[in-house]
Amino acid sequence: MKIKTIRIDASKCTGCRACEMICSAFHAEQKYSIANPKRARINVFKDEENDVYVPVLAGPYTDVECLGRNTVTINDKEYGECSFCRASCPTRVLFKEPDAPEIALKCDMCGDEPLPMCVKWCMAGALTYVEREEAS
Amino acid sequence: MSYGWAGNSLEIDLSQGKIEKKQNDTKLYEAFLGGKGIGSKILWDRVPPQVEAFSSDNLLILATGVLTGTPVPSGSHGCICFKSPQTGLISYSNMGGFWAVELKSAGYDTVVISGKASSPVYLWINNDEIEIRDASHLRGKDTIETARIIKGELNNGRVQVICIGPAGENKVHIASIEHPMTGDSAARTGPGAVMGDKNLKAIAIHGTKDINIARSPEFMELCEVVFQKSGQLRESLEPEGWCAMMMAGWDTAFFGNADDKQPPQPEFEDYEKKNLDFLKKYLVRETGCYNCTVRCQAWLHLPEATYYYPRCESFAFSLGCKIPDLVFSLKCCNLCVRYGLDIVSTARTIAFAIDLYQQGILTSEEVDGMRLEHGNAEVAFTLIEKIAQRKGFGDILANGTYQAARVIGKGAEKHTHLVKKQDISPDFFILSPGSALSLATNDRLDSHSMITSAISPDMWALPRDAYIKGGWWLYPAEYEKYLTDDYLASYNGIAELTYYGENVKIITDLAGLCWWWTGFLNYTAIKADTIISLISHATGMDIDEAKAISIASRTRALMRANDVRLWLRKKDDIAPEILFDREPTRRQQQLGFTKLDRDKFSGQLEKYYELRGWNSQGVPTAETLDELGLDDVRQDLEERGFYKDE
């Protein structure tokens, strides 16, 4: 079975959020008729002062929040686990339709497109597309 | 539903604490599109000449472009319009980053801020919820800390913040508005001072709304083209990237305060290699504005573990203080960003002060006991702080060189290098007739973006073939005829090129695109026809080139009329004297530059007036204003007696 993968190289991310923009435009009801990064299925987590730039792709929806929370420390700065979490969950607004929070957003790898749009529009090469075989 | 535009604007009266949301007047937006077009119209209507820059009646206008926030790469820019305390003219500063897109996502094309708050406040725009919040805890905080605190208290990592530092709070005339940690500022002509006068420390923005595209298939097809072309442009700059170019500016510049007789010092001469080595050593990440393929910003991690952004004008401090060391320049830039000071004007003001001291016009007693000497980094660091805090001698410098010279007297005025009361940056001590004409005429005064892009095919004095091969920059093919072998000597075509280039930059600005790659020197990814089509497809309007030029001309005529109504006259449309009087540096001679010629310059200035439809005194004619639909402006100028001799 072919697994579609987006490989994220956080060191190359420039934080421009073109990925968010094109994702929202591509997934508009009428394709490309809107731009709205808050409706994207990808979110660039940025902490410029500490040089942390991490594109996070929207993962599965969950209706239960985590019971335990981890922290992640990068360059001596501690981040809540939610910063890099892919889930659309009750504790935050991320990866939900802004006007209809009951609708969760999830990356669909842009369906039949040859490349996911975020990969195509990532001029810096932070996002690359990889297919790998996995036994089903 | 509104296409291209968000469809609404905000009116904030800080004196009354009043917040009003308004639906856009469609006709107004069709006539001016956005950015400084809308800004200058509002300023004409609502800020009459008698209103001082530091008056509660002065307005601070945030105006996004018609393409801001749409999928077009680099559609990230917005304009901040106001009456300037530095020049007393109508002014604007164009700023990239993320704030303008966020504002449009919140549902607003324009925000008009009037009045003065009685104590420090910040504005919180969160979609339809608008709040004027107390900012007394932010008083005196630098810009980076201010943004950090606001983001923390709003508990929203996706908030965009623009703010002032101590310099703006102290109404320093050369204070900037900063967009912390993005590398973007609105800096020239003192927007930060106007914001400070209003007691407005910051504006925080968050929006979640859609920006709609009218003809999306056609629009996206063009976006793809822009994306590919700008990407190629970026690749052509590898491996060193844009930031190398940003620091390579002292090639043709003068040193110190430009008054010295000696040619460039030898240690400046291998600057190019030094810059590149420096970048390779310290560059940790390239960054850019929203949806930008080019990423012209860079983070440098210097030995003392501090991050710095090199700016286009990074070298201004090195030149002014004669310290050929990038670490020094970047430290100065970083201080300016934190205090919220315009880098160019601050560097020029310090160079001016050192020059006066060296000439004996200023004594140690007059400058708080300091010895203002070249080559001393501490002089610059101390003066930056004094200017930002208006401490001691810094209080005089805080109003920029034009006003400082008038306070100091003793011939200090001879040591200023100004265009319309604004000190020019060192990269415009360039003996290029095209740059000089643009510097003398454009509505942004000394603007490296406007001048190096709109105009100056002659700036690097390349042979004709090099321009043609390079796609002839932002000009269409029919402008090739102005590239004659003797263009540097004859000045032929300079008015036409300046006029055309200026129009393209105005359209770029009204659209909210980045000026750089719609024509920054030879780095031109797209020409005017593409921008015009993008505007048409985004809004659903049908704009052809003639209509776009008329929109640009309307904006230009309106700003000009307003400046004429203030104090601007033909005699002010002149490049600094030094460009006519000073012998070229050795490097400038190598490139073929000579001193500027007053007669030839005047000939081109008159030609430029003609092309613009202005009379011989540089006033837009009654016919021009009528044709552009600015009858009310014509009437106002008529009543003020501008046409009585005709």
Smallest Cα distance from B77 to chain A, Å: 13
A42: closest CA among A112, A121, A130, A113? A121
In this model, does residue B491 exceed pLDDT 50?
Answer: yes
Taking alpha carbons only, the member of B324, B256, B356, B246 closest to residue B585 is: B256
**pLDDT above 50 (res B266):** no
- Portions of chain B given CATH number 1.10.599.10: 430-619
Rounded Cα–Cα distance for residues B93 and B191 (Å): 8
pLDDT given for residue B329 in this prediction: 84
Domain B240-423, CATH: 1.10.569.10
| Residues comprising chain B, all counted | 646
Numbered ranges of CATH 1.10.569.10 in chain B:
240-423
* A21 contact B CB<8A: yes
Contact state of B105 with A37 under an 8 Å Cβ cutoff: yes
CA B219 to chain centre: 28
Q: What is the pLDDT of residue B263?
A: 47
Verify whether the Cβ–Cβ distance A123 to B216 is below 8 Å: no
Chain B interface includes A26 (CB < 8 A): no
Tokens describing residue B436: 């000089």
Is A32's CB within 8 Å of B213's CB?
Answer: yes
pLDDT of amino acid B624: 98
Specify the CATH class of B8-206 in words: alpha beta
CATH node for B430-619: 1.10.599.10
Q: What percent of chain B has pLDDT over 70?
A: 87
Within 8 A of A17 by CB-CB distance, chain B residues are 98, 290-291
Residue closest to B519 by CA, chosen among B471, B574, B575: B471
Among B105, B182, B227, the residue with its CB nearest the CB of A121 is: B227
Q: Which residue from B130, B123, B148, B150 is spatially nearest to B60, judged by alpha carbons?
A: B123
Which residues on chain A are in Cβ contact (under 8 Å) with B210? Answer: 28, 34-36, 39
Closest residue in B to A122 (Cα) is B293
Does residue B239 have a cis peptide bond before it, meaning omega lies within 30 degrees of 0? yes
A52 DSSP assignment: E
- The reported pTM is 0.96
B239 and A CB contact within 8 Å = no
Assembly ipTM: 0.97
A86 and B CB contact within 8 Å: no
pLDDT at B474: 82
> Number of A:B CB contacts under 8 A?
93
Question: Least CA distance to B218: which residue of chain A?
Answer: A32
Q: Do B289 and A39 touch (CB under 8 A)?
A: no
Average pLDDT, chain A: 93
A106 touches chain B (CB under 8 A): no
Q: In the prediction, which pLDDT does A62 show? A: 92
pLDDT of B577 higher than 60: yes
Q: Which of B68, B72, B208 to mutate to test the interface with A (most CBs of A within 10 A)?
A: B208
| AA letter at B612 | R
Closest CA to A22 of B78, B98, B72, B293: B72
**Domain spans in chain A, listed from the N-terminal domain onward:** 2-133
Rounded to whole angstroms, how far apart are CA atoms B205 and B192?
18
pLDDT tens per residue across span A90-113: 988 899 999 999 999 999 999 999
pLDDT exceeds 70 at position B213: yes
Contacts of B288 in chain A (CB under 8 A): 14-16
Q: Average pLDDT in the B89-102 region?
A: 95
Q: Which residue has the higher pLDDT, B290 or B283?
A: B290
For the segment B347-351, the average pLDDT, to the nearest whole number, is 93
Quickly state the pLDDT bin for B453 (edges 50, 70, 90). very low
Burial (Cβ within 10 Å: 0-12, 13-18, ≥19) of residue B561: buried
C-alpha B614/C-alpha B639 separation (Å) is 18
Q: Which of A11, A30, A35 sits opposite B71 (nearest CB)?
A: A35
Tokens of B31: 């006539």
